[in-house]
Amino acid sequence: MPHFMKLWCITLTKVADDSEKESAFRGLCELIKTNPVAAADALYEICDAIASWFFPNLSNDLKENFRAILQEYKRQLGPNWNAITSKFPEYLKKSLREKYNV
C-alpha cells in the first residue's frame, strides 16, 4: 500500500463523483480497514480524497465508512491528530469537521 496509496488518492480527488469513483473508494476503504498502518503515510491524501466528494451525492454507507476510517485514525493518533491536521489547508480541515466531525 505505501507504494500506491498516495497516487490512488490523488487520482480520486480529480475524478467526477460517479459509480466508478464510488467503487474505487469502496476498495480503498476495505484496504484501509484491513491495514490502516500501511496507509497511514498517505493520511493527508486519504483525507483530501474523502473531502473531494460532493457530499449530497455520497451514499450513506460510504459516508459511514469514511467517518469510521477518519475516526479510527483520529483515535489511533490521539493528540498527534491535531498536530498533523493543523498543517492541512483550511478548506480540508473545514470539510472534515463539517462532514465527518473530526
- Taking the C-alpha atoms of residue 21 and residue 101, their distance in angstroms, rounded to an integer, is 23
Amino acid 96: pLDDT: 95
Average pLDDT, the chain: 92
Which helix or strand (DSSP H or E) is residue 94 part of? helix 90-100
Amino acid 79: pLDDT: 93
Supply 73's cell numbers.
485514525
- Taking the C-alpha atoms of residue 95 and residue 84, their distance in angstroms, rounded to an integer, is 16
- Output 18 or 69, whichever has higher pLDDT: 69
Model pLDDT for residues 30-73, shown as the tens digit of each residue:
999 999 999 999 999 999 999 998 766 788 899 999 999 999 99
The pTM for the full model equals 0.92
Amino acid 58: pLDDT: 80
